[in-house]
Structure 1
Amino acid sequence: DGNILNSFNISFKSFNNKVKESFELIKEILININFHDYERLKEITLSLKNDFKSLLIPKGHLLAMLRSKSKLKLNEYLKELQNGITGREFWQKAKTDTESLKEIANKLDNLKNKIISKNNLSALIMGNTDDILKNLENEFFNLKESLEESNHYNGLLNLDANSKALREIIIIQSKVAFNAICFPSYKINDENYPKANFLEHVLRSGIFWEKIRVMGGAYGASASIANGIFSFASYRDPNFTKTYQAFEKSLEELANNKMTDDEIYTYLIGLIGTNIYVKTKATEALQSYRRKMLNISDSLRQDIRNAYFTITPQDIKEISTKILTQIRQHNSIASLVNNQIYEEEKNNLEKLIGKEYSLKKIY
């Protein structure tokens, strides 16, 4: 599966004549930050508590998808700890009395000392002239030399992400549901990845829109493939078990019926359009940095794009059959749904996924 890159990113931009001052500011933050300003720490903690509490409805589909993915891969498990329902529960329990704030500050100090170090720092820099680039390189070198070395080992990599139930129903106070199903699929360097990526676009912009949004009444539905995981999700969905049936029926329809060349061409235009768009310099820098760290080369990305132009109706039919097999062999489900809908559909749910699932309530 390769190495896990659990990174802490800092991005900033600067005027050409303020490069030195910008790096001095970053240096001051990294080395001399004071976590023991308890009034400020209290404000930040309360802000995080409120931000996570308000995530449930507007971002419920993302929480469900991340929860589902977290049962399949360790890197997704780490994301869920920080940004998912687990992270939300952590901040809901966080206290803001002085002793609790001292404990948070001490943990932040400990974390800073582990990860902010000379041998743990890398950067991607962008400038518009050679002399500016040289200046940026020099300032980055000075910043790096000002940090201490550390031999911190990330023990999180030993955690077992697959020890929890693959099917989870989470009871929430909402009139609508958020449903997600994820399953292992093709990685970016697999020869079938471009076809699976094309299928993702067909599902997301075509068949899911019709079956889940128009016919099902959900506000939204999505399909995505990333890091070797294929994910389906619905957003503000009045349905529960019917949506999981619609996910599978959509694949069955594509596996049993061949699309036309005109349909393939229409989806191709849309897919290329989603891959080619104007980016800010900051976005370009962050994307380039991540690709370099993950060994995603420009030639690989070009090969994938070239493969899109060779995809035929038969390819979509065949890849749909393969994806259908994948979803049936091994999957992880997470739904955020109210108790009334759960009780009404409990029998249908257990016919669909069996009785081995976890049930919890969050508020």
Structure 2
Amino acid sequence: MFALRDGVMCYYSEQACRGIVYCNIAFEVGDVGGEAEMLLPLLASAITGLGTSDIPYHLMSHQIGLVFGGLRTDLEVADHAETQNPHAVIWMKSRFLVQYADEALPLLDQLLCQANFADHTRLREIMLEMRNDYRASIVQNGSAYAGLRAEAGLSTLEEKEERLKGISQYQYLDAVLAQPVEKVAAALEKLRDGVIRSCRSEVQLTCDPEHRRSMQDKLPALMVNLWSRDYTDIPSLSVVSDFKLLPLPSVDQPESLVTTTSVNYLAMAFPGALVFQPGFAAQSLISHLLSTGYLWERCRMRGGAYGASAGVHGLSGIFRFITYRDPQTARTLEAFFESFDFMSKQMPSDDLIETGIIALVGKELRPMNPGAKGLLAYRRHRFGITDDLRQENRDRLLALGQEDLRAELQLLNSAMQRGVLSMLVSPQALSEYGQAAELQANESQAAAQDSQQPSVEWLLRRAAVNQHVVVSA
């Protein structure tokens, strides 16, 4: 790592790249809140989707194709593993041949700092494309959306990600499209001028060692607009003044999101281990064994779901079950609730545990191109995933046995009492549970359970009442 100029840090990864330069610029936007935060995904798309005042979009698009081997923006949300401070980052990811650096870097500078928001026709096209892509993906990726909603009910980090990448973002884009495009353009320009600043940026550079010095000199020299932008406050923005976020699900308020699908997507999230805690390795192995064994048999083979899996999110400390294109609701929830007891009673053999450990270790040893290696190393640095932490988790994983898994299964079974349920369902899926009177009749049963696990029927009745139409026919 070294400083470029004015305190902007560059994380350099030395790789054999054969003349290709991978240049990724990260802008920290974790402190952006309110409606400005909701506009960040649209801003990220507009940066590479618009031209400039000097170069219209159709010419800019052609020039990008000639100069870059890859150029895209992305938005990432993650906690720091040690401090647990949430981060949100706008990425500008690019790839070009080293001989094109003198053309590529000024183009990046123009896209970041001079995108022409006055091109209202093109901006509206971007907004429509984003909204329609979200709408088309809701059924296709229903498990991801339901999972994000369930996790958001437990974690401020996942709550932020849900606002930026989930159902809330889709609904916000839908509301933005009803506003005058001039109003949206003015807000995006103010937001761009607030967050695309050198003081918010870090550069991740991967290239051949003989090209490092020239790239180190060219980055600040050729990206003059970015380096001239110092700190400024984030403006307060209002585009959709009456927009209200969909209430998140909670332990006492499971939800059902109704769409035009004829199948269901179920997600249940509850507290799990953080990546630096001793139980993380065991929970990673448990989730793998459940996904490839019990859940496959119970939900896929018997229940008819296209997919079912378990997973633990180490940065937010959440364990999650999800199903994909699932014709069931009650039977799937029963499978979730019975999973840990089943595994405790029918503990996998030592050979099966060893196979699971090999599979988990193998995920970290997959081949990657030089750019992916450099970016992964930077992300681990930025989010506190140190080599010592990774080695510690691997040592714990390799030492796991049946008794370690049994102890962790008991903890997970207890944690399920604080589970949050979100379901993306068809209009008919919960019709038999949807009578409010029946729900009230079961309130006394739920109250009497106290710390006991809620019944499947109670959860479904509650979700049927806490119902939100996301996409209608």
TM-score, L = length of structure 1: 0.91
Correspondence list, 1:167-316, <5 A = 167-226=254-313, 227=315, 228-316=317-405
Contact 1:180–1:231 (Cα < 8 Å) also in 2: yes
SS in 2 for 1:197: helix
Aligned-partner residue type, residue 360 of structure 1: H
**Residue in structure 1 matched with residue 152 of structure 2 by the alignment:** 70
Deviations 1:103-140, CA, capped at 9 Å, x for gaps: 111111111111111210101111112x3112222233
**Residue in structure 2 matched with residue 115 of structure 1 by the alignment:** 195
Which segment drifts farther, 138-147 or 202-211?
138-147
Which segment drifts farther, 307-316 or 265-274?
265-274
Contact 1:241–1:345 (Cα < 8 Å) also in 2: no
**Equivalent-residue separation in structure 2 for 1:269 and 1:307 (angstroms):** 13
Deviations 1:179-233, CA, capped at 9 Å, x for gaps: 0011121111101111111111111222111111111110001211112111110
SS in 1 for 2:95: coil
User: How far off its partner does 1:349 sit?
Assistant: 4.9
**Residue in structure 2 matched with residue 29 of structure 1 by the alignment:** 111
1:149 to 224, 227, 230: 230
SS in 2 for 1:43: helix
1:89 to 171, 179, 184: 171
SS in 2 for 1:12: strand
**Residue in structure 2 matched with residue 332 of structure 1 by the alignment:** 420
Cα distance change on mapping 1:185 and 1:245 into 2, 3 Å: same
Deviations 1:41-63, CA, capped at 9 Å, x for gaps: 12211211210110121100001
1:126 to 203, 206, 212: 206
- Structure 2: which 5+ runs fail to align? 1-82, 238-244, 439-454
Deviations 1:231-253, CA, capped at 9 Å, x for gaps: 11000000012211101211111
Q: How many pairs are equivalent?
A: 355
Confirm or deny that 1:13 pairs with 2:90. Answer: no
**Equivalent-residue separation in structure 2 for 1:111 and 1:239 (angstroms):** 44
**Equivalent-residue separation in structure 2 for 1:154 and 1:168 (angstroms):** 34
**Equivalent-residue separation in structure 1 for 2:235 and 2:421 (angstroms):** 29
**Equivalent-residue separation in structure 1 for 2:87 and 2:230 (angstroms):** 19
Contact 1:66–1:80 (Cα < 8 Å) also in 2: yes
Deviations 1:32-78, CA, capped at 9 Å, x for gaps: 11111112112211211210110121100001001111121122112
Contact 2:433–2:461 (Cα < 8 Å) also in 1: no
**Equivalent-residue separation in structure 1 for 2:149 and 2:368 (angstroms):** 30
Contact 2:267–2:423 (Cα < 8 Å) also in 1: yes
Confirm or deny that 1:358 pairs with 2:463. Answer: no
Deviations 1:304-360, CA, capped at 9 Å, x for gaps: 1222211111211111111111112x1211001122220124578542467486211
**Residue in structure 1 matched with residue 139 of structure 2 by the alignment:** 57
User: How far off its partner does 1:155 sit?
Assistant: 9.2
Report which of the two has the higher share of helix: 1
The Cα RMSD (Å) is 2.4
Cα distance change on mapping 1:41 and 1:177 into 2, 3 Å: same
Which segment drifts farther, 267-276 or 246-255?
267-276
Which segment drifts farther, 82-91 or 5-14?
82-91
User: How far off its partner does 1:362 sit?
Assistant: 1.7
Confirm or deny that 1:139 pairs with 2:218. Answer: yes
Which segment drifts farther, 277-286 or 183-192?
277-286
Aligned-partner residue type, residue 458 of structure 2: K
SS in 2 for 1:13: strand
Contact 1:258–1:314 (Cα < 8 Å) also in 2: no
Percent of residue pairs bearing the same amino acid type: 23
**Equivalent-residue separation in structure 2 for 1:252 and 1:352 (angstroms):** 20
**Equivalent-residue separation in structure 1 for 2:144 and 2:247 (angstroms):** 22
User: How far off its partner does 1:91 sit?
Assistant: 2.3
**Equivalent-residue separation in structure 2 for 1:154 and 1:277 (angstroms):** 43
1:321 to 396, 399, 410: 410
**Equivalent-residue separation in structure 2 for 1:106 and 1:327 (angstroms):** 46
TM-score, L = length of structure 2: 0.70
**Equivalent-residue separation in structure 2 for 1:239 and 1:353 (angstroms):** 12
SS in 2 for 1:125: strand
Aligned-partner residue type, residue 137 of structure 1: Q
- Structure 1: which 5+ runs fail to align? none
**Residue in structure 2 matched with residue 48 of structure 1 by the alignment:** 130
SS in 2 for 1:180: strand
Aligned-partner residue type, residue 24 of structure 1: P
Contact 1:170–1:336 (Cα < 8 Å) also in 2: yes
